[in-house]
Structure formats: structure tokens, C-alpha cells
Structure 1
């Protein structure tokens, strides 16, 4: 049986490619997070109302589809900022709601941000240093996110608070797993498009933050 041998030069090229994708992903992720935060700040300052579930879902999935189609062109960058800016604009009214509904609303927001940062750094660090293969998480995460999304729609439609809390807890675990999975995909060459890698990590961070905020508001919110 013939064996395929990879030369050191090929391995160096692969390593350089993965390092470039990782570097570009983190650079773009940082810029989109800043832009999204700026849009959230604008929507908070202008007291924009939340657009509602229908407009939010149409806007999100529409811009996500556009980003996926344009991921290999310069327009993909424009689409990424449109998507993350839109998500930031929808986040502003949510933060305003917590800061006005709870006397410790600002503290809750800061705690959710801190928790999100800790989880992101922990999962990223694990993905970058662990020799364990986490690719088995892919199918589980896909099914889990689909189930949690549908359950979330049902919880909102029926206004069933226990299910809302359960969905938020599910999303915290699923988004932590998605950060771990996607980062290792980049490191091991499974994801070579930094635009799509950025979108995946941004959406993970966004959902992680909002889910933590919901849980903290329920557990620690003070009237």
C-alpha cells in the first residue's frame, strides 16, 4: 500500500495558511465587535424600539445568506459589517430594557459581558492548546442549536417563562461549544474562510451574551 508523505515545506505552507486565517479572523472579529457595540450605543442613545421578532429574523437570516454568498469577495466584508451592525442595533433596545427594568440593570449587563469574555477566552484557549479532536461536536451542535432555536420560538409565542430560561441555559452551553468547535476548525484547517469564521464566532458571542443576560436578570435582577 502506498503511503503519502508530506514534506516540511507543505506543512509550513499549511501552518502559514492556518495562522493567516486565525489572525484575519480575530482582527475582523475585533472590528465587528467594536462596530456592533457602536451601533448598540447609537440605538440606546436614540432610544430605538426593538424591531420585533419577524424583522429581526428576516434581517439576520437575509444578511447571513448574503454574507455566505459573498464570502469569497470584497463585498463579503461589507456584508459582515451590515450583519453585525444590524445585530448591534437590535441589541441596544434589549440593554435599555434591562437598565430601566432593574435597579441593578447596569451591573447585570456588565456581569453578562464579563461572563461572555471569560467563556470565550476559556473555550478559545482550550481549542488552541488541546490535542483532543473536538470535531465530533459538529453534528451535536447543529441539532442542538436547531432544537434550541425552535424551542425559543415556541417559548416567545406562548410566553412560557420556564421554557425561555431553559432555552437560554441551552444556548449558553451550545455557544460555548460552538466557540470551541469553530476555533479548532480554524486551527486544524477545517475552516479556511475568515469571513465565515468571524460570523460564526460573532453570532456565538452575541447569543452567549444575551442568554447570560436573560439568566442573570431572572436570578439577580432587582426591581
Structure 2
């Protein structure tokens, strides 16, 4: 009986230790994601401010009643460089992130994430030239509320979302193909359909990624590899960051008011 009590006490202590570690792990995930979001917002705002001017002197193109592109804006949005800016974040995710996770230290992975967030900000800077600041802010707040609810669901639900996650990731591939095709078709109705489907896909992925981050920590917490857990937290932050930004951009297609 005494031996059983000892085992039960040890098990309870281990469970409490995992719960405490999980809270710290999730705080790191959301904290890293939040810093990344801030970097993206500041980079997008700064680049948009440098790319657009109300002074027609030395402007390279007019984009509104009293708005003009500077030479930087022309280089970013009118030259072939726009394709580099557009696809650089995707290229990093496909060809750079996995290698960084395998070979880099936790500090290097975190730096890589923040650099990626800055590049993403440059890529997204055009929204400040298309939509009003009020509608961008409004859409961001709506996205934040929806994201919080979906992430909470993923964290607390007892339902296994792994099967749904596999299906949704396949949906992302189809979504990317449709978006590339629409770059050439420039179809408004198709873009609205892509936005609606994309919003649903990344809403589901938010719940899936949150549960996966939680389960990954619980499965590896007893191994004692803190370096790996730190990198896993940053990887989880990246997954949620991407889901949030995609939800925001797709929702902006419905809620955004153009300049």
C-alpha cells in the first residue's frame, strides 16, 4: 500500500510538472508569435510609408487622387522585384525553415522567425495602399477575436483533430494552386471564392496547430531536451502566425474598405 501511494504521489508530481511546463511552453509560443506580428505590422507600415507619397515630384506612378509611388514603391510593386517580394516568404518556408530547424540553435531559429516576419511585412505592405487604416484595424481586431476562440478550442477540446489537420493541409496546397492561377486570370469572383475557402481552412488549422503544439510538448516533456522544446515552441509560433495572417488577409477581402 505504501509503495502504491509512493507511485501515485510521484505520478501526480510528474503530471503537475508537465502542466506547469506546458503553460510556460504555450506562453512562449504566443509570446513569440505576438512579437512576430508586431515586427510584421511595423515593417509593412514603414515600407508603405516609404513607397507612397503625396508629392508628385520625382514620383514614378500615380495610384490615387493625391497618392504617388516613390522610386522604392515602383521597384517593389511595378518591377519584376514584386514577384520576389511576393514569393520570398513562401520560398523560405519551403526551402529554408526545415533546414534551420534541423541544424540551427534555438536562438538561430528565433532570429530566423523574426527575419521571416520582417520579410512578410514587406510583402504585405501593399495593403496600406489599398485599404483604409480603419478597415485594416477593424479586420485585425475581428481576426484576433476569432483566432483566440479557435485556439482556445484547439487547446481544450478532447477531440482528436489530427485527421482534420491532414485534410486541411491538403486544402492549403489546392488553395495555393488556385491563387497562382488567379494571378493570371484576375477573376474577382474566383478571388472571393478563394478568400472564403481560405478563411475556413486557416480557421480549422488554427485549432489543429494549437492542439498539435500541446500534444507535442506533452509527448516530449519528459525527455529533458530543452533546446528541442524551445525550437518546437518557435515552430509552433510560426504555424499559428501563418494561420493568423492568412485569416486576416482573407477576411480583409470581405471587410476591407478601399482608399
TM-score range, shorter chain: 0.7 to 0.9
Give the conservation status (yes or no) of the 8 Å contact 2:40–2:120. yes
Aligned residues: 209
Does residue 1:85 correspond to 2:112, yes or no?
no
Give the conservation status (yes or no) of the 8 Å contact 1:19–1:187. no
Which whole-Å CA distance do the structure 1 matches of 2:47 and 2:11 have between them?
A: 54
Instruction: Give 3-state SS (helix, strand or coil) of 2:251's partner.
Output: helix
Does residue 1:186 correspond to 2:213, yes or no?
yes
Aligned to 1:195: 234
Report matched runs for 1:64-213 at 5 Å: 64=93, 65-71=95-101, 73=105, 74-98=107-131, 105-189=132-216, 193-213=232-252
Which moves more between the two structures, 43-52 or 141-150?
Answer: 43-52
Aligned to 2:43: 39
Which whole-Å CA distance do the structure 2 matches of 1:52 and 1:163 have between them?
A: 22
Give 2:11's match in structure 1, choosing from 4, 7, 12: 7
Q: Does the C-alpha gap of structure 1 residues 222 and 159 become closer, same or farther in structure 2, counting only changes over 3 Å?
A: closer
Q: Does the C-alpha gap of structure 1 residues 197 and 116 become closer, same or farther in structure 2, counting only changes over 3 Å?
A: same
Aligned to 2:254: 215
Give the conservation status (yes or no) of the 8 Å contact 1:18–1:189. no
Which whole-Å CA distance do the structure 2 matches of 1:124 and 1:67 have between them?
A: 23
Which whole-Å CA distance do the structure 1 matches of 2:190 and 2:83 have between them?
A: 17
Q: CA deviation at 1:107?
A: 3.0
Instruction: Give 3-state SS (helix, strand or coil) of 1:189's partner.
Output: helix
Q: CA deviation at 1:117?
A: 0.9
Q: CA deviation at 1:128?
A: 2.5
Which whole-Å CA distance do the structure 2 matches of 1:157 and 1:222 have between them?
A: 22
Unpaired runs of at least 5, structure 2: 1-7, 52-72, 220-228
Aligned to 1:30: 34
What is the TM-score of this pair, normalised by structure 2?
Answer: 0.73
Give the conservation status (yes or no) of the 8 Å contact 2:86–2:123. yes
Instruction: Give 3-state SS (helix, strand or coil) of 1:131's partner.
Output: coil
What is the TM-score of this pair, normalised by structure 1?
Answer: 0.84
User: What's the CA shift string for 1:58-92, capped at 9, x where partnerless?
Assistant: x1133323233223512111110111111011112
Unpaired runs of at least 5, structure 1: 99-104
Give the conservation status (yes or no) of the 8 Å contact 1:18–1:188. no
Q: CA deviation at 1:54?
A: 4.5
RMSD: 2.3
